[in-house]
Amino acid sequence: MGYVDYEVDGHVAVMTINRPKALNALNEEVLKDIEAAFDAVDLSEIRAVIVTGAGEKSFVAGADIAAMSTMTKEEGERFGKFGNDIFRKIETFPVPVIAAVNGFALGGGNELAMSCDIRICSENALFGQPEVGLGITPGFGGTQRLARLIGPGKAKEMVYAARNIKADEAYRVGLVNAVYSQEELMPAAKKLAKAIAANAPIAVRNCKKAVNEGLQVDMDQAVVIEEKLFADCFETEDQREGMRAFLEKRKIEKFNNR
């Protein structure tokens, strides 16, 4: 994984996209390394993942324009599917994924951030889908996830006009959950990840699955999804320990992911 640094801090994995000379832009090699990093996660131990970019200027500045500039229609379709498949893998990854956006998140960078469960950012972050200014559409889910996250009207404004938004506006429209200084961003991301990791892993995974799958169907179907995932938690060691600790008015010893 030459372009992605992978570290483990307790039950939290931290992935850093490390191509700073190109502002961490995505080409096929970087995308392959991102996929390899997620494939390498030990789900028996890791309970939350943080994705960030190397340096203080950029999370991911976008897809590599030089690499795309000579693509044929067929190559463009293949590249779009390749990126979409990886971002969909992140979106449906069993454990929660937090994007710690430390600067530019444009084009593929914004699309990567949106494939994560939760986005927090630094004060210098900049978000956008500038593709129409290059003669193309967003290709890694930008037209779909942005509209779902901030509403179609605002998403269309950003996409059609190639309008970027700063951190404060991203927070106001709901694209990010919080804004921090550069120095505070990673500590805040790790604090949130560790808070997630401290809870019952099976329950957290089922919550992610319930939210993601429930949003794709009507309410009658959504509550059935929730019912089944709710029931799936029963008879686990973690459910028994969690409820026993509550009834005995003591702290939970630990959740064992069983």
What pLDDT, in 10s, does the model give residues 167-182? 999 999 999 999 999 9
Band of pLDDT at residue 253, cut at 50, 70 and 90: confident
Structure-block tokens of residue 78: 């293949």
pTM as predicted = 0.96
Query: Under 8 Å CB-to-CB from 120, ≥6 apart: which residues?
Result: 98, 99, 100, 101, 176, 177, 178, 179, 180, 185, 188, 189, 192
Residue of 75, 131, 227, 248 with catalytic role: 131
Structure-derived torsion over alpha carbons of residues 236, 238, 240, 242, reported in degrees to the nearest 10: -150
Residue 168 has, within 13 A of its CA and on its CB side, a CA count of: 0
Q: Is the pLDDT of residue 31 over 90?
A: yes
> For the chain, which domains are there?
4-197 (3.90.226.10), 201-247 (1.10.12.10)
Pairing of strands 118-122, 97-101: parallel
Band of pLDDT at residue 64, cut at 50, 70 and 90: confident
Q: Is the pLDDT of residue 195 over 90?
A: yes
Q: Is the pLDDT of residue 255 over 80?
A: yes
Give residue 63's pLDDT.
87
Structure-block tokens of residue 216: 């794709």
Percent of the chain scored above 70 by pLDDT? 100
Give residue 193's pLDDT.
98
Neighbours of 221 (CB within 10 A): 12
Ranges assigned E (strand) in 64-204 = 97-101, 104-106, 118-122, 126-128, 165-166, 178-180
Residue of 7, 29, 74, 111 with catalytic role: 111
Give residue 4's pLDDT.
98
Q: Is 131 annotated in the active site?
A: yes
Nearest one of 253, 172, 73 to 81, comparing CA atoms: 73
CA–CA separation, 249 and 243 (whole Å): 10
Q: What is the mean pLDDT of residues 10-29?
A: 96
Give residue 67's pLDDT.
87
| Helix axes 108-115 and 73-91, enclosed angle (nearest 10) | 30
Q: Is the pLDDT of residue 29 over 80?
A: yes
Give residue 38's pLDDT.
98
Q: Is the pLDDT of residue 1 over 80?
A: no
Give residue 198's pLDDT.
96
Contact 97, 49 (CB under 8 A): yes
Predicted confidence (pLDDT) per residue in 73-114, tens digit = 999 999 999 999 999 999 999 999 999 999 999 999 999 999
Query: Under 8 Å CB-to-CB from 166, ≥6 apart: which residues?
Result: 125, 126, 127
Q: Is the pLDDT of residue 134 over 90?
A: yes
Contact 30, 111 (CB under 8 A): no
**Average pLDDT along the chain:** 97
Nearest one of 17, 8, 35 to 197, comparing CA atoms: 8
Phi-psi region of 126 (alpha: psi -120 to 50; beta: other; left: phi over 0): beta
Predicted confidence (pLDDT) per residue in 221-238, tens digit = 999 999 999 999 999 999
